[in-house]
Chains A and B, each alone.
Chain A
């Protein structure tokens, strides 16, 4: 199944299959991250910098700021949601639950 992902409108949206799914302005709770020294960063998403698919996960790197300490930065890759293998429907994650950014091991776009 082909999944089309874009960051839209100068990074305002993660678009999955031409539907705007995840917006900026949400708070993401990050653990084991390198944005700041906070054990859990309370991270305001201000822009999507990169997006990609690591089947079946849709992933992205987000520019933003920890509102607990004020540190700004760009996250490592975060799972934004998952594409259902059967239906192709996208189910997004809940930003306010804990997320662990990780370095990517696969190419964002298969060659």
Chain B
């Protein structure tokens, strides 16, 4: 029997949800029938709107999909202006202030505290500059990821930006693919860095070459069924298909139709295509794609370029991100800026947009490491750009612990999360910077902090993986983490080994300090942390270091999920002002 969500989607889903959203916006929060909340909030996701968690009723998270994370300065400015004007709630965040934007691991932008009444105005502002929230959440084609510097990067196999533009145009708002069994995440990688992180996507086009009719053709190998969620991580699997650039749309349509028609609509926990690949095997996936979904003979896979991948690969011989100054093939430079946990104040977003434009940049990129890139900086302007005061905060040469830290949304807004995340990661990074010596040669050290098993911060593919948990301390429940080590992508991707379980959150910094001291003392010369971990079995890894209390102080040890907002002075659920009007004033109660 199809799930309840399928029933709601059968009634109303896709583009038509927008008309209803506008009606609710016109009439206000109370116009959404109380006995239809669950159905409507599920449908709103298709237009990039997530109802925030309990205690924050009437507020929405709005996700703006940015194909390959690629923005113009004008678009970024509008994001900042929308954040400043609309993304404000009843209480400020103690680390980030009252209005900010979150840059995500799938190269989208998230704004919080959005009221339904403001949605038409926001849509108008975004769409006027070519941005949209369409299919940013929900069961359909999500934001297409890849390298934002495609077409600029000197380390490039193919410029995939025109391909991604075509895919975005074809599969956004397309009724044929509007209602899939579950989310559908696509990565297109055209560089030799592996920056698309295709291995963790439902569908990945990976750079490859193949000799066809005596000529070497540049194109892609196709992988299917990657994903990290729910303690069921899978790397995308090679289905032995080579795809010419002009065939990407056909193969993508075929595979998303295969998922639409054969994915599990009865059990949402079994719905992602990774489970269908488990069940069928790659040969059957290929055969069904060939027989039912495409009308040309699919070539066998070509030669991949995976041995060159260094993005988030934990290699000692190459940085694993875009931070710093890089060459473009046209002689200009792109500059990667570290944005700690991906969150930037709205005023700073606007300031960066203005700054980029003043230097003639036509591209600002959002990376899968929650950082930003400013493209097109001329050689003669580079020193001036690097000297700008904004880059003291969002640095192209950050401390390794700040550079490599990623965190998901957490209990601040998210329903699924078990623990507080972003503010805690900021405090961890600050403490580590002050108290932990960086082993020689380590420039970027990846710590991914995810609030739960949904794995939005990609915890399984980091040097140190932190996944939200609970434990007891002196008998009382406190927020905690499972700790994994040695994950990463690259030629041979590897999920982290979960080594220390249920470590109280205030003992994590001490554990990392002890662990890095052991690494520094015992590693072979030049050995990366990932290789150091790979050389040891589980018992050896557990023996490396112990969790330890230090002078690090954690204000979020209590159950932040049971607050209405973890940073409010009065944080009890009963103290929530929600639901509110757009001015954050409580709406009158029916009681």
A residues engaging B (CB < 8 A)?
Answer: 4, 6, 8-13, 15, 17-20, 23-27, 42, 44, 46-47, 49, 65, 67, 70, 72
Contacts and interface: CB of A to CB of B under 8 A. Distances in A.
Contacts of A13: 54, 415
Interface string B441-473: 000000000001110000000000000011110
B230 interface: yes
Given A6-B38, A49-B269, A12 B470 contact: no
Contacts of B501: 70
B415 A18 contact: no
A67 B503 CA distance: 11
B54 A23 contact: yes
Given A49-B269, A67-B472, A72 B231 contact: yes
Contacts of A20: 53-54, 415
Contacts of B36: 18
- The secondary-structure label for the interface of chain B is mixed
B453 to A, nearest CB: 6
6 contacts: A12-B415, A19-B37, A24-B452, A42-B472, A46-B453, A70-B502
B477 interface: yes
Nearest to B418: A25
A6 B34 CA distance: 14
A8 B561 contact: no
B269 A67 contact: no
Interface string B34-52: 1111100110000000100
A9 B558 CA distance: 23
B469 A24 contact: no
Interface string B229-240: 011000000000
Contacts of A65: 469
B416 interface: yes
Nearest to A51: B4
**Top 6 nearest A-B pairs by Cβ distance?**
A12-B415, A25-B561, A18-B37, A12-B416, A9-B415, A25-B418
Contacts of B268: 10
A44 B38 contact: no
A19 B561 CA distance: 17
B417 interface: yes
Interface in B364-420: 411, 415-419
A27 B454 contact: no
Contacts of A47: 230, 416, 453
A4 B502 contact: no
Report, as a range, how many residues of chain B touch the other chain. 35 or more
Contacts, number: 77
Contact of B35 (A8, A18, A23, A26): A18
Given A6-B4, A8-B415, 18 more contacts: A8-B38, A8-B41, A9-B415, A10-B454, A18-B34, A18-B35, A19-B37, A20-B415, A23-B53, A23-B54, A25-B418, A25-B559, A25-B561, A25-B562, A26-B559, A46-B453, A67-B470, A67-B472
B38 A11 contact: no
B38 A27 contact: no
A15 B38 contact: yes
A30 B215 CA distance: 66
Nearest to B35: A18
Interface string B216-259: 00000000000000110000000000000000000000000000
A10 B416 contact: yes
Contacts of B417: 25
Contacts of A24: 415-416, 418, 452, 561
Nearest to B8: A6
A11 B231 CA distance: 14
Of B54, B415, B417, most buried by chain A (CB within 10 Å of CB) is B415
Contacts of A42: 472
A84 B54 CA distance: 22
Contacts of A8: 38, 41-42, 415
A57 to B, nearest CB: 19
Contacts of B415: 8-9, 12-13, 20, 23-24
Interface in B259-277: 268-269
Contact of B470 (A4, A6, A18, A44): A44
Contacts of A6: 4, 38
A4 to B, nearest CB: 7
Contact of B269 (A4, A11, A15, A17): A11
A16 B26 CA distance: 27
A8 B53 CA distance: 11
A1 B101 CA distance: 45
A6 B41 CA distance: 13
Contacts of A19: 34, 37
B139 to A, nearest CB: 11
Interface in B467-490: 469-472, 477, 480
